[in-house]
Amino acid sequence: MTTSAPLQATAPAGLAEDGSIELRGVRRTYGDVTAVDDLDLTVNPGEFVTLLGPSGSGKTTTMMMVAGFEDLTSGTVLINGRPVDTLPPKDRNLGIVFQSYALFPHMSARENVEFPLRMRRVRPTERRRRAEEALDRVGLTKLGDRRPRELSGGQQQRVALARALVFNPSALLLDEPMAALDKRLREQMQEEIKTIQRSLGISVLFVTHDQDEAMSMSDRIVVMRDGRIVQQGPPEDVYTHPVNDWVANFLGDTNLLPCSVVERNGDAAVVDLGALGTGRVRDLGARGERYAVSIRPEHLAFLPEGRPENSATGRLVSSTNLGATIRHRVHAGGQDLLLRELSAGRRTSRATGDDVCIGWNQDEAQLLVLDS
């Protein structure tokens, strides 16, 4: 794999000072199908916001309405506080990187980067200077004469990023730009895109269905389902405190234990877990008809026998070594539970079929509404 120099933390002159994006009551329908339903969302200046959801959740349609490639059925989009609903994409001053990169195959990397400036009637000498600066910023100084077919996938993505930034846009829209890259290169580009975003202070609206990608890159995650926002907040908050079982499951592995509420006291609740007994969990005020406790696998732990609260006994079904971690499956209370521990922190050896005791801390198990 051919690698390139890292992205440079050098801000271009003239970068837009605001960069806010706001959607008010935005709706998009296709006949009887509602793709986006009454969506309100704000991207603050300099913020990296990710739209995260499964296929069909409305995240790409939302981005395309911001970009101007999709019409709104109702509502309004504002950029830098100004309504842009009637403006064509070229007049919204937004940099866009698509999943396919959309590079012109007959143009060199430099010519691709120059293209937005040519459309803006920038003089040739100035075009070339700014394109060279943009290519240098993404670590492709020496590859400007190559055509897309002569570049690796990561290098093509860098060209697309340079082209999106060369005209100093108000904000950057990224539509799953790393979906075609292999795991190692994808992780490298995640870090580098985040580095250049921070160095430029540019606002980003990012679309992905990859939970790990959203967790590692975002200042704020907006979880979408069926055209609506289900939950939004900092990555750690959304992961640790999901609003319902659907979000908990979508954002990674979790153990969902159906329960009934015995007692509520401030931010704690006593719950009846059936065959697993009773326990205390974190209570953030969820209200509904059916409840479950969500415990992430890394928040379950093997314990000595005899712990009186927040514990259960079971049988070790399997253990899978994943390198840095070991994933265990324990059958307890009539169901299989996942437990993940660090390989380096493993203190005792356990064999399949062994009787084990597992447990959790109150603040690391959350009472949720069953929504799905």
How much is the pLDDT for 347?
64
C-alpha dihedral (308, 311, 314, 319), degrees to nearest 10: -140
For residue 72, CA distances in Å to 26, 32, 49, 88, 184 come to 7, 15, 21, 13, 38
76 versus 90: which is more confidently predicted? 76
Q: Fold match between 21-240 and 245-369? A: no
Among 114-123, 161-170, 303-312, name the one with the lowest average pLDDT: 303-312
Sign of torsion, CA 193 194 196 202? positive
Q: pLDDT > 90: what percent of the chain?
A: 71
Write down the pLDDT at residue 229. 97
- Model confidence at 329: pLDDT above 90: yes
pLDDT of residue 192: 85
CA distance 349 to 56: 45
The yes-or-no verdict on residue 107 having pLDDT over 90 is: yes
Domain 21-240 indexed as CATH 3.40.50.300: yes
Q: What is the pTM of this model?
A: 0.88
CB 184 within 8 A of CB 29: no
* Domain residue extents for the chain: 21-240, 245-369
Please return the burial class of 13, using the count of CB atoms within 10 Å of its CB with bins 0-12, 13-18 and 19+: exposed
Instruction: Give me the mean pLDDT over the 281-299 stretch.
Output: 92
Structure tokens at 124: 């040739």
**Residue 98: closest CA among 168, 8, 178, 41:** 178
Q: Does domain 245-369 have CATH number 3.20.130.10?
A: no
Q: What is the pLDDT of residue 105?
A: 92
CA dihedral (228, 232, 236, 242) positive or negative = negative
Q: Which residues contact 100 (CB under 8 A, 6 or more apart)?
A: none
Grade residue 15 by pLDDT with cuts at 50, 70 and 90: very low
How would you classify the pairing of strands 311-321 and 325-332?
antiparallel
CA distance 153 to 96: 17
- Per-residue pLDDT for 175 more than 80? yes
pLDDT in tens, 31-81: 999 999 999 999 999 999 999 999 999 999 999 999 999 999 999 999 999
110, pLDDT greater than 70: yes
CA-CA distance, 302 to 178, in Å (whole number)? 38
* Mean pLDDT along residues 324-333: 94
Predicted local distance difference test score (pLDDT) of residue 71: 95
Helix axes 153-165, 124-137, angle to 10 degrees: 130
Residue 337 banded pLDDT, cuts 50, 70, 90: very high
Q: Is the pLDDT of residue 254 over 80?
A: yes
**What residues contact residue 349 under an 8 Å CB cut-off, 6+ apart?**
none
Strands 325-332 and 335-342: antiparallel
92: left (phi over 0), alpha (psi -120 to 50) or beta: alpha
Beta sheet of 94-97, edge-to-edge order: 94-97, 171-175, 203-208, 48-52, 220-225, 228-233
Given this model, what pLDDT does residue 1 score?
A: 40
Question: What pLDDT is attached to residue 307?
Answer: 66
Copy the structure tokens of residue 24. 């008010």
Per-residue pLDDT band at 14 (split at 50, 70, 90): very low
Name the average pLDDT for the chain: 89
pLDDT value of residue 3: 45
Is 9's pLDDT higher than 50? no
Higher pLDDT, 124 or 15: 124
Task: Give the SS3 label for residue 128.
Answer: helix
332, β-bridge pairs: 335
Show the tokens assigned to 172: 């950057």
Question: Smallest Cα–Cα separation from 310: which of 330, 295, 290, 298?
Answer: 295
Which segments of the chain are extended strands (E)? 21-30, 33-43, 48-52, 74-79, 82-83, 94-97, 171-175, 203-208, 220-225, 228-233, 255-265, 268-272, 278-282, 291-295, 301-303, 311-321, 325-332, 335-342, 355-359, 365-369
Q: What is the pLDDT of residues 237-246, one digit of tens each?
A: 999 999 999 9
The secondary structure of residue 151, as a DSSP letter, is: S
Helix (H, G, I), strand (E, B) or coil at 205: strand
pLDDT over threshold 80, residue 4: no
